[in-house]
Structure 1
Amino acid sequence: MTPQEKATAYWKNNLKYLYILLSIWFLVSFGAGILFAEQLNNFKLAGFPVGFWFAQQGSIYVFVILIFVYVRLMNKLDKKYNYEDNE
């Protein structure tokens, strides 16, 4: 595999991860916090309606978790394509 092909494959995998993780964040923040808030408000979480909780706190928590997932995925991707930090 040439360096250009390797870089292209690496970037395609990176974009795939980004699309998936950002889609999850969109579904949680927009879907649970806005679109499905009425249905989710029938349930309680820590004394608050779940739809309200996702709109105020849940999407932030999910975003932080997705950051850690992205870091883990990128570390694996770096190892796969030999782009590890050699310091």
Structure 2
Amino acid sequence: MKEEKNRKEYWRANLRYVSILLSIWFLVSFVFGILLVEPLNTIQLGGFELGFWFAQQGSMYVFVVLIFVYVWLMNRLDKRFGVYED
């Protein structure tokens, strides 16, 4: 019974992490890179318009960072539930 509860808690936490991280990626890639591209193009970043940067580079950089964040979060979660690997 307790093991089943732990499994459900673990899965719920994992889904929460995935939902938050995918929401951030959606915000950066779709909202900033497509929907808000015109207002963001009024800001310059390294000589490029910010909207263009988000559409071309920013979403990929954020995605890679989110992968590392997910690995870090899951390692912490695994340790919390005692299912980590050495």
Please report the TM-score for the alignment, with normalisation by the length of structure 2.
0.96
1:13 corresponds in structure 2 to: 13
Secondary structure of 1:85's aligned partner: coil
1:67 corresponds in structure 2 to: 67
1:30 corresponds in structure 2 to: 30
Cα distance in structure 1, aligned partners of 2:21 and 2:31: 14
Cα distance in structure 2, aligned partners of 1:65 and 1:84: 22
- Pair 1:49 & 2:49 matched: yes
Query: Aligned residue pairs: how many?
Result: 86
Could you say what the CA RMSD is over the residues aligned between the two structures, in angstroms? Answer: 1.0
Letter in 2 for 1:22: L
Cα distance in structure 2, aligned partners of 1:84 and 1:53: 38
Deviation for aligned residue 1:46: 1.4
Identity in percent: 59
Q: What are the ranges of 5 or more consecutive residues in structure 2 without an aligned counterpart?
A: none
Deviation for aligned residue 1:45: 1.0
Q: What are the ranges of 5 or more consecutive residues in structure 1 without an aligned counterpart?
A: none
Q: 4+ residue runs of structure 1 moved beyond 3 angstroms?
A: none
Deviates more, 1:41-50 or 1:1-10: 1-10
